Structure 1
Amino acid sequence: MAQNTYEHGDDANEDIRPYCYIGQHDSARSETLSDLQYGQVLNAGFSFVTTPVTNEHFRQRVTELASRSISELDKSEIPSCHPDPIVPPLTTEDTSLFPSPTTGGLIAYSSPWLDLCSGNAAVSSISRQVLNLEIAYANFCGVRTIVIPGPRQDSIKAGNHQGVAQYARAIQEALVIGTRLNFVIHLPMYREPGLEEQTDVLSTTVLGENGDRSQPQGEEIDIFSSWDTWHTIRSVCEYDSRLFAAVRMPRMLPGNEVQTRWFSEPVQYLTFGPKSFQTNKAGYPSLTKRHQDMIMTYMRLKIAPYFMLYDVGPEVKAIEEQIEQLAAEEFPTLSQAAQQPKKHNHKTIELNRYASYLRYVESQQQPVSALEQATLTNFQDWLQSPLQPLSDNLESVTYEVFEGDPVKYNQYELAIGKALADWSHQRKPTSSPTGAVVIAVAGSGRGPLVTRALRASENTGVPVQVWAVEKNPNAYVYLLRQNQMVWGGRVTVVKTDMRAWKGPIVGGTADQPEHGQVDILVSELLGSFGDNELSPECLDGIQHVLAKPHGISIPESYTAHLSPISTPRLHADISRRSPMDPNAFETPWVVRLFQLDFVAQRVPSHERFQQAWEFVHPLPQSTMDRIEARRSGGVVGGGGGSMAGGVGANDHNSRHCHLTFVCRDRGVIHGLAGYFESVLYRPHASNKELVELSTLPDAIDKKSKDMISWFPIFFPLKQPLYFPPDSELEVSMWRQTDDTKVWYEWTVEAFMWVSEAQRVKVGASEMCSSRQVACLM
């Protein structure tokens, strides 16, 4: 039997896997299911069912109205002045959908015969009115979601953009009417023949036009045209948070470029018809390995799409007959019961084969790790304001989140251990009279790096003297307790801003102490973009305590990297925030980017992720001397600095980059994704590997696998930037400073080649600036 074909395994309950919801849709259904029919469909393995809002009686009424209106319009003396026909209100004969306890569990499906894209004014007006009637009535009945069949032809076809624009305008109006509804536009992933609605549209019925505007056989298929139509609709509707897409799955999946494009969109349903499946050797429906991989990718989303099976059964009539047969067997009359022998082979309704197969695919997913459950999944595409570590004192829970990542601290411990081993091997002089290597942890927080420094000393056998420097008075108390309870008094805790610290006390008196230097300076001041939490400025300020010439900074260097991305969900989220937060679109947000599309291609000399700039520590002494001269007013001519209001003391930390990204396929970008890489320590021996950290998607597994301490940073654009095929995106970004704060400015331009030697600009974003939310020094 079908339900026994795909086994979940005995240990399925031991692992936590994402759960999928499977719905049933019948494109030929014209009446709402009765409660009994609804229950039987659920028993066949489905979680929800679709229902039409109106029936065939209403369709006939509307068709007659459309025919009369077109006839009157043809006879009108001045057609442009002829009033549009008015669709009468619904009656009890027009619908079988009524408010009930089960209505909230139904998914409404708008009439597929509507032709919102029709070039005939009467037909398009009637279709729009009918849609509004269905929306208003579904909203009244308590339905929460309505699926609306999308246009049957895309705007990429010459002369058809008016139709898609009309459709988008109708959806925009419907959103105002259905205030409590979520709207789902049903579109194919691409125009594979056979994926469209089979019902004739209104223009075909009353005008005899070819209403099937699907892809003609033999014609080349544009695999992005369906997405183009969706982009037009949601752009007209201004990325409304109640507007979603339902994607019809083709039998042949396109390339990853199309799949990732749809993955970045707010997809509410993945819909599968009989043509999406193939038959396996046992005669049961199955999906290709690529389909299964795609499903598993979607299932890792925090809000995963539902699955909808259409036109694959079960047949409602067959269910009714089976129910009658079961009723006759289970509830005979008293006389019949006395005459019939007892039966034990009662028939039951079988699970739907297609739903059973999707349950099998669900069971084949990798279990969700404990880390994903607790941290990563909850943070998917969740906007967080960047930290202000210098101007704000962080709370203990914030430190605790950082400390929950063992990978980062393992790398730091490895870097400190190698630095100590090299120091001992090279017999470098130390800054301590006892011969111990002096380590200072700048910005100690709750002390995880201090613990790792002590452990590295124990593992290498190199004695150390550790100083923990922290400005947060609350964290300072915690560090003192750690020194008593965990470190055994081996650490000297100092409460001060690291930039004001004069170094370890090596002698003198309480009033006039003598300060020494530090051999190894360790810090974890890196932000999501490397420098966005003022690591350069902080390490510049404490560099004076580093011993010369042997002093070591961990990290030694870090680089910032960028890539343009499409992320409609984040754009919609920021749009909702912007009325209350005028700086929402000019804030660099920290976010675990997950549901996105990297639009750039990997081509020679133009990588998908490109380096914006680099910072190196410690700085040359000549640079430090110039900084001090500017700060003290010793620059000839006064020195105004690169920004008005400053003396230029921090100009050496300003940066600028201009990057070119190549985009083969057309698309839209909503901002820039920012990442960083860092060299914590470079071993003395050239044949030894660097100790590194990386958040780059294509390098993190090699350099710091499973590290979660830093989520990427997102630089949004105020308006989405659409670009045509074979475009180049020019990204310009600046790291600006006026000696009191640091901020970023960014802009993107799109160019298209028109000849071998000439490009034309086809679009550009506004200049964005985070100056109003700058990081304070």
Structure 2
Amino acid sequence: MSSEGLNPESDDFESRPSFYIGQHDSGRTETLTDGQYSQVLKSGFYFVTTPITNRHFYSRVCDLYKSHLQEREDWVAERGLTASQSANPSLPGPVVPTLTNKDTSYAPSSYVGNLVAYSSPWIDLCSSDPLISSISRQVLNLEVAYANFCGARGIIVPGPRQDESCRGVAQYARAIQEALKVATRANIIIHMPMYREPGLEEKEETLSSLLGKSNDKVTDSAKEIDLFSAWDSWHTIRSVCDYSSRLFIALRIPRRLPEKDLQERWFCEPLHYLTLARNTFQENRGGHPSLSRNHQDLINHYMRLKNSPWMILSDVGPEVESLNESTDKMAVDFPTLADANQILKENQRPRLPPLNPFVSYMRHLERQQPPFSVLETPTLTSFQDWLQSPLQPLSDNLESATYEMFEGDPVKYDQYQLAITQAMADWKTLNKPTSPVTLEAPTPENQKLIVAVAGAGRGPLVTRVLRAAEATGTAIQLWALEKNQNAYVYLLRQNEQVWGNQVIVVKTDMRSWEGPHIIGREVIKTKVDILVTELLGSFGDNELSPECLDGIQRHISKPHGISIPQSYTAHLSPIATPRLFADISSRVQADPVAFDTPWVVRLFAMDFVAAQKVPGHPRFQQAWEFVHPVLVSREDDFMEEASGGAKFTTVGGGSMSGSTGSNDHNARHCHLTFVCRTRGVIHGLAGFFESVLYAPQIAEKEPVEISILPDQIDRKSKDMISWFPIFFPLKTPLYFPQDTELEVSMWRQTDDTKVWYEWMVEAFMWAGPKTRVKVGASELHSSRKIACLM
């Protein structure tokens, strides 16, 4: 049984994501007036960026730095000090005084929520000059504090200009951490390029360059660009800030898009804005702005996020001069009351200013997006990256609403019905023996196929079995088993009102069921020909399907009996998912075992870090497999020797201290190697499953399967929504260099009373043809404290 089934909606939602487009002018030095702001909105934008401080404040800061240096030189000269004495680190540095009304035109207003505060691009938090870096940090704190006071919801801070200096990036990260504490309500959004494409940075020179203190290296256009260096800097910043939920990215989209690996890496980060500069666009044949097909695909992909990023068009107009002219014209040409009344009488429509051409194109692109798919209904979208605890199906009784959600997936039940239908058809074709259902002499009339649905819930599989029997003309005796006393009542009602009393409903735990039987002078036990269950979880076995089937498979007829599902496999892949790591981190105080919990989650904003198509090391690797029925089971022997179901309590013999070993055959272990071509970070392991519901026993027929593997689901069970993946988190993100091999170890453990998982990850890189060096490792995680109870 899955814990993630959902009922897809067919209407009441927009067919495509909406674009929210803002305007940024890198040359703007003052906040727009009401009239100017109105003109920007009329040209098609929803919001605008605004500088927090102006050129007056910038001049004050420059003068402060210069006067401090001059005062220090004068002080040294007056005392006749040497150079080493004048470099005393205990000498006081410059202190930037508080803002005044001349330093800013930004102020609280009725539309402050539509203004995105933009920190001064000239500050240099990465400077190697301690005076400049200190002044820059003070300026940043003054600006974010004032923007926070004015009611800014978001404050954009230009990111580091270079990535090579670890010291500079660390300084920057430390300053952002402090700014988050200063701005207690506002989000801090770091403006970062996707990669260091020339011309993608801020146009304004930094304080270091303007004051002649820059150590910036001249960029060599012929030098090979490190595509992942900008992401590395971002990773340092957010790590220092402990993955703050108020820290976001404004991602500069380059003119030339990088490889898919880097696009996916940024996709999993907390994107707030996508910024597109004028030079990112191309002119089409009509002279209008347009984006390449690759850019369109990127935007379409990013807009599928639950919290889709907003867009900022940079330096595409309208210019400040044109805004001033428009405002002046409005003031001159504003109609009198008599003129306005005449316009209304003549039913004339006022002329609206034309849309900005770049906005017009983006609106066209918005309409051209692929429509939402079956898996992108509002309900399913709301489940993106939303953590859910796995079910405890053996210890908990589910509510009717939960069953109803499970039943909302036609794909799963269609596949089950197909599997049951093929099994019945093969049984007849191969002329397999059936079981007697009366005490009379065997005849075709009283020989029926005995089918049991174990864990029937509200009966969706019972209905599918009856349909399969009708389609194949198979006479069946159908048993429905359910331990939930509340669902049992529902099944009895269904049997009377829907199934025509064709079903024998039994309230029992399937592991304690005595099996099908004929009631006469004495009870005569028979066997189940086809056993149907839906016990699978997101990892296949995580809801104790093996243990449940162990307790009932002794009733399956041998050697012809069939179990549906017939087998299932668990699969793993390491992933980067910063959002989930931040979410789990926020829960630790209230839930100390949050990082030891395998979470069910619809993984979306994440990156598969393992390379594809590596021989012997695919991106998705099988951890283990379970096959049913098991013809020889230690559990069967134990049950027989214990005379009807009581398990041994003798200590010793099992792999776990204090266990009997009766469930050891369901323990598993795997050790998998994943190859990572590019450097990155992982936050945990994504778990998936595949299942063969039925493998036809007649040649040339394809097996009936279901799968949630990303590279197989469309082929085997397209649009199936019953299961989301499972996520095994790491307490500490594991960073790894390029060309790394990640070694994943996982165990399925049991002590006869419960089942849990243990997992760890190690990172290795090759230091020579025959030498591998460990460069990192996680600790061993264990879900034993929240184990699934048998």
Q: TM-score range by the shorter chain?
A: over 0.9
Q: How much has 1:83 moved relative to structure 2?
A: 1.3
Name the structure 2 match of 1:191. Answer: 196
Q: Structure 1 CA distance, aligned partners of 2:241 and 2:769?
A: 38
- Is this contact kept in 1: 2:600–2:724, CA < 8 A? yes
Kept in 2, the 8 Å contact 1:674–1:712? The answer is yes
Comparing 686-695 and 164-173, the one that deviates more:
686-695
Any conservation in 2 of the 1:750–1:763 contact (CA below 8 Å)? yes
Query: Match for 1:604: what amino acid?
Result: P
Secondary structure in 2 matching 1:763: strand
Counterpart selection for 1:489 from 501, 504, 523: 501
1:348 Cα offset (Å): 3.7
Instruction: Output the CA distance in 2 between the equivalents of 1:58 and 1:731.
Output: 54
What code does the residue aligned with 2:774 have? K
Match of 2:789 in 1: 776
Cα distance, 1:514 vs structure 2: 3.2
Corresponding residue number in structure 2 for 1:549: 559
2:404 maps to 1:392? no
Whether 1:245 and 2:258 are equivalent positions in the alignment is no
Partner of 1:587 in structure 2? 597
Q: TM-score, normalised by structure 2?
A: 0.92
Deviation at 1:216, TM superposition (A): 2.9
2:708 to 681, 695, 708: 695
Instruction: Give yes or no for contact 1:384–1:590 (8 Å, CA) kept in 2.
Output: yes
**Aligned counterpart for 1:265 among listed residues 266, 269, 278:** 269
Partner of 2:632: 621
C-alpha contact (below 8 Å) 2:648/2:660 kept by paired residues: no
Q: Where does 1:357-368 land on structure 2 (aligned, <5 Å)?
A: 357-368=361-372
2:233 corresponds to 1:221 = no
**Match among 129, 134, 139 for residue 120 of structure 1:** 129
Give me the whole-angstrom Cα distance separating, in 1, the residues matched to 2:134 and 2:762.
Answer: 40
Structure 2 residue matching 1:80: 3-state secondary structure: coil
1:332-362 CA distance string (max 9 Å, x none) = 7999x99xxx998975422111111111111
Distance apart, 1:73 and its partner CA:
4.6
Match of 2:332 among 328, 353, 358: 328
Indicate how the Cα distance of structure 1 residues 254 and 437 shifts in structure 2: closer, same or farther if over 3 A, else same.
same
Contact 2:649 / 2:660 at 8 angstroms: preserved in 1? no
SS of 2:358's equivalent in the other structure is helix
Shift of 1:206: 1.9
Distance in 2 of aligned mates of 1:214 and 1:224: 20
Deviations 1:39-93 (A, max 9, x none): 1111111111111111100000001111122344555534311112111001110
Unaligned runs of 5+ in 1: 1-12
Q: In 1, distance between residues paired with 2:353 and 2:103?
A: 32
Sequence identity percentage: 63
Task: Tell me how far 1:672 sits from its aligned partner.
Answer: 0.3
| Distance verdict in 2 for CA 1:636–1:485, change over 3 Å | closer
How large is the RMSD of aligned CA atoms in angstroms? 2.4
For the Cα contact (< 8 Å) 1:675–1:712, is it kept in 2? Answer: yes
Name the SS for the 1:79 alignment partner. coil
Q: Distance in 1 between matches of 2:773 and 2:71?
A: 50
Separation of aligned partners in 2, 1:627 and 1:442: 21
Indicate the SS of the match to 2:369: coil
**Equivalent residue of 2:257, what SS?**
coil
Please give the alpha-carbon distance, in whole angstroms, between the structure 1 residues aligned to 2:492 and 2:371.
Answer: 41
CA shift in 2, pair 1:125/1:552, >3 Å: same
Deviation at 1:515, TM superposition (A): 2.8
Quote how far apart the aligned CAs of 1:429 are.
1.4
Aligned residue among 442, 447, 458 for 2:470? 458
Aligned residue identity for 2:181: V
2:655 partner amino acid: S
Q: Hey, what does 1:4 align to over in structure 2?
A: none
Say which of 283, 287, 292 aligns to 2:291. Answer: 287
How is 1:298-377 mapped onto 2 (pairs within 5 angstroms)?
A: 298-331=302-335, 348-369=352-373, 372-377=376-381
Structure with the greater relative contact order (CA < 8 A, sep ≥ 6): 1 or 2? 2
Could you say if the C-alpha distance between residues 724 and 86 of structure 1 is closer, same or farther in structure 2, counting changes exceeding 3 Å? same
Query: What is the alpha-carbon distance in structure 2 between the residues aligned to residue 544 and residue 599 of structure 1?
Result: 43
Matched, 1:515 2:525: yes
Which residue is 2:83 aligned to? none
Following superposition, the deviation at residue 666 of structure 1 comes to: 0.2
1:381-418, Cα deviation, whole Å (9 max, x unpaired): 11000000000001111111111000110010000001
Q: Alignment partner of 2:518: what SS?
A: strand
Does residue 483 of structure 2 align to residue 471 of structure 1? yes
Letter in 2 for 1:139: N
Q: Deviations over 1:663-717 (max 9, x none)?
A: 0000000000000011111111121100111110001111111111010000000
Task: Answer whether contact 1:431 1:547 (CA < 8 A) is retained.
Answer: no
Q: Does 1:69 align with 2:79?
A: no
Residue segments in structure 2 that go unaligned for 5+ positions in a row = 1-11, 77-85, 438-445
Q: Which amino acid aligns with 2:52?
A: V
Residue of structure 2 aligned with 1:104, choices 96, 107, 113: 113
1:700-719 residue pairs with structure 2 within 5 A? 700-719=713-732
For 2:126 and 2:477, how far apart are their aligned partners in 1? 76
Cα 1:598/1:37, change in 2 over 3 Å? same
Structure 2 residue 756 is matched with structure 1 residue 757: no
Verify: 1:203 aligned to 2:208, yes or no: yes
Aligned residue type for 1:130: V
Amino acid at match of 1:65: L
Alpha-carbon distance, 1:636 to partner: 14
Q: Given that residues 628 and 649 in structure 1 are in contact (C-alpha distance below 8 angstroms), is that contact kept between their aligned partners in structure 2?
A: no
In 2, Cα distance between equivalents of 1:277 and 1:414 = 51
Letter in 1 for 2:541: D
Conservation of the 8 A alpha-carbon contact between 1:588 and 1:770? yes
Q: Which residue of 2 aligns with 1:598?
A: 608
